Amino acid sequence: MIFSFFLLTFAISTSYSIFLDIKMAKRKLQRFADNLNDPYILDRNKPLFEQIKGRWNEAFFQNPYPITLELACGAGEYTVGLAQKFPERNFVGIDLKGDRLWKGARNAEALGLKNVAFLRIQIQHLTNFFAQNEVSEIWIVFPDPQPRAKKEKLRLTNPRFLELYKQVIQNQAFIKLKTDNTQLFEYTLEVLKEQKIEHWEGTNHLYESSFLGEHFGIQTKYEKMFMAKGLNIKYLKFKIC
Ligand SMILES: C[S@@+](CC[C@H](N)C(=O)[O-])C[C@H]1O[C@@H](n2cnc3c(N)ncnc32)[C@H](O)[C@@H]1O
């Protein structure tokens, strides 16, 4: 009797989780289809995708304003939040997950923003999409910390990535990292030291620091999750050239 009860409970919960998986997969497919016609999203199936490098101002934004990137943007909370705050700057959120970019695009659309774009690429390919000096600021917001030594090369503050950023960012422009992860924060400080990058500032407790005002109250989905767990948010800003 007890065994049958457990069996029934197991069958119901398994069917329910399969039902949820299917629902989620369908929603993702719908979002990918929507992205094909979304004016905010640049993806490989759009004509501009192959020709955007060096032409963001003229071909996408149709204005001369400086361009900020948000890397690993997820749903692009910084892209949308900063775009609202700074109408005379342009913002490009970059991530490889199309369903998250869809969300960011919907938020930008709801606010009628004209200075927002989302680019679906692997950040490793950044230099195929931006020319030298085309970028005036980079935010890296709660990137995957990639704690395993084997995956060090995937950390977005690895020297390999810094080299890519150097190829697109203007002289004296800031790269800004926000993370909950102590290991990634310390790793980045170590990289800056090894690379002899002297111009940096930061804090391991953003919410108790004088840097908080630079964030304009913007919080991302992951930030809210980490804060609910009681984790300190760390912040670093540095110049690589
Ligand atoms: C932890 S989530 C953070 C999302 C968002 N910034 C936030 O704070 O809510 C990390 C994001 O980085 C993206 N990502 C990780 N590695 C990437 C890469 N090499 N190229 C593009 N996106 C990447 C993932 O798809 C994911 O959306």
Q: Which of 71, 73, 95, 234 to mutate to test ligand 1, by most ligand atoms within 8 A of the CB atom?
A: 95
Together in a domain, 64 and 30: no
Q: Is 100 in the pocket of ligand 1 (CB under 6 A)?
A: yes
- 21 carries an active-site annotation: no
Say which CATH number the domain at 146 has.
3.40.50.150
Helix (H, G, I), strand (E, B) or coil at 59: helix
Together in a domain, 19 and 84: no
Question: Could you tell me the pLDDT band of residue 1, with boundaries at 50, 70 and 90?
Answer: low
Together in a domain, 28 and 98: no
Together in a domain, 50 and 18: no
Together in a domain, 20 and 52: no
Q: Compute φ and ψ for 115, nearest 5 degrees.
A: -110, 30
Together in a domain, 32 and 149: no
Together in a domain, 129 and 155: yes
The DSSP annotation for 105-171 comes to: HHHHHHTT-SSEEEEES-GGGGGGT--TT-BSEEEEES-----SGGGGGGSTTSHHHHHHHHTTBPT
Confidence (pLDDT) at 28: 87
Tokens 């993806």 -> residue: 43
Together in a domain, 5 and 27: yes
Together in a domain, 76 and 146: yes
Together in a domain, 95 and 119: yes
Total domain count for the chain? 2
d(CA 41, CA 106): 10
Together in a domain, 31 and 131: no
Share of the chain above pLDDT 90, in %: 85
Together in a domain, 29 and 135: no
Q: Is 233 in the pocket of ligand 1 (CB under 6 A)?
A: no
pTM: 0.93
Q: Is 132 in the pocket of ligand 1 (CB under 6 A)?
A: no
Range of the domain at 20: 1-37
pLDDT digits (tens, 9 = 90+) for 184-200: 999 999 999 999 999 99
Is 9's pLDDT higher than 90? no
